């Protein structure tokens, strides 16, 4: 038996924020944003819609997709950088809303790489036979920490949630390899300002890090899986910037149609971006049973991670 994903669910808020909407209060325009980032629009949650609200909606869909109930879940891991509050954890709040009253739950903070960190953490629990079904939720409400007077960051981020159930799967399916890492020397390149609580980023340096690291670890995981470019059906990168994503695809010698792109519709949703992309591709029949896929991300910390898996139960 392998360990993989048996259920997937996502949720995005109703409000669509287009690039042109920022022109009303920032010195920017749709052409520049689209060219530099690939983003056309993103979703913003209501003021009264919390991070945990987003996560609960995605979690319910993932559990249903796995043909399970909340009583079947043994552990909940929530990857987020925008907790409802310092404590209790967002995972505690989500567990309560889902009706789980006695299972462990915890938040995982690895910024935009949080989903990959959390899936690998879940894999270890299932692989050790400690738990059967682990619910992993990647969720962020970045609109609440985005400085809407800073044109260099305000246009980049959106809100959303994606959840998966990690469990044992049949032989030949599941996670085949992974690579996780971090470099704390870059902690001051992407962080939450303690005074304003707004997100701050050195865009130039983060871009340089990502354009080097994303292709590097993607290729490393591909080689660990003994996959050739023709063996890979889909590369699902963290949706931060189309130019970074294209750099990874080109380094892996993948055809253009093998790159998952949802940054145009959701922007950078941090820990939610990879599961949102997976669900989008599945809905469009580009993620199917037996497909080999690579998930890769980077984020504040600086953190980075990638994993290769064969899709299916």
| pLDDT tens for each residue of 191-208 | 999 999 999 999 999 999
Whether residue 80 is predicted with pLDDT greater than 90 in this model: the reply is: yes
User: Which one is catalytic: 112, 133, 225, 241?
Assistant: 112
Cis peptide before 88 (omega within 30 of 0): yes
User: Which one is catalytic: 19, 57, 238, 241?
Assistant: 238
**Tokens 């290769």 sit on residue:** 308
Query: Is residue 268 among the annotated active site residues?
Result: yes
CA 236 → CA 157, 190, 233, 309, distances in Å?
18, 22, 10, 11
CA 175 → CA 3, 29, 62, 121, 310, distances in Å?
6, 41, 18, 12, 6
pLDDT computed for residue 1 by the predictor: 84
pLDDT tens digits, 259-310: 999 999 999 999 999 999 999 999 999 999 999 999 999 999 999 999 999 9
pLDDT computed for residue 145 by the predictor: 97
pLDDT tens digits, 215-240: 999 999 999 999 999 999 999 999 99
Q: Which residues contact 151 (CB under 8 A, 6 or more apart)?
A: 22, 26, 27, 28
Contact 231/5 with Cβ under 8 angstroms? Answer: no
CA distance 186 to 90: 26
Structure-token pair, residue 215 = 């292709």
pTM tops 0.75, yes or no: yes
Query: Is residue 57 among the annotated active site residues?
Result: no
Query: Is residue 96 among the annotated active site residues?
Result: no
């Amino acid at each position: 038996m392998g360990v993989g994903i048996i259920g997937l669910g996502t949720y995005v808020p109703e409000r669509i924020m287009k690039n042109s909407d920022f022109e009303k209060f920032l010195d920017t325009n749709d052409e520049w944003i689209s060219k530099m980032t690939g983003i056309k629009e993103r979703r913003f949650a209501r003021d009264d819609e919390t991070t945990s609200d987003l996560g609960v909606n995605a979690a319910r869909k993932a559990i249903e997709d796995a043909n399970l109930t909340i009583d079947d879940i043994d552990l909940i891991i929530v990857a987020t950088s925008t907790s409802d509050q310092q404590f209790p954890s967002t995972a505690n709040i989500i567990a309560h809303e889902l009706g789980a009253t006695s299972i462990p739950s915890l938040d995982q903070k690895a910024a935009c790489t949080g989903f990959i960190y959390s899936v690998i953490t879940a894999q270890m629990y299932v692989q050790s036979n400690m738990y059967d079904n682990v619910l992993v939720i990647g969720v962020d409400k970045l609109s609440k920490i985005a400085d809407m007077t800073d044109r260099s960051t305000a246009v980049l981020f959106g809100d959303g949630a994606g959840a998966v159930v990690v469990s044992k799967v049949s032989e030949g399916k599941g996670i085949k390899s992974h690579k996780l890492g971090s470099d704390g020397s870059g902690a001051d390149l992407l962080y939450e300002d303690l005074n304003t609580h707004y997100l701050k980023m050195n865009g130039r340096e983060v871009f340089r890090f990502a354009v080097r690291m994303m292709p590097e670890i993607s290729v490393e995981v591909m080689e660990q899986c003994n996959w050739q470019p023709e063996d890979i059906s889909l590369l699902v990168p963290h949706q931060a910037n189309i130019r970074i994503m294209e750099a990874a695809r080109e380094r892996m010698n993948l055809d253009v149609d093998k790159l998952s792109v949802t940054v145009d519709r959701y922007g950078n949703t941090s820990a939610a971006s990879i599961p949102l992309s997976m669900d989008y591709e599945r809905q469009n029949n580009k993620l199917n049973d037996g497909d080999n896929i690579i998930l890769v991300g980077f984020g504040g910390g600086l953190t980075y991670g990638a994993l290769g898996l064969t899709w299916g139960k």
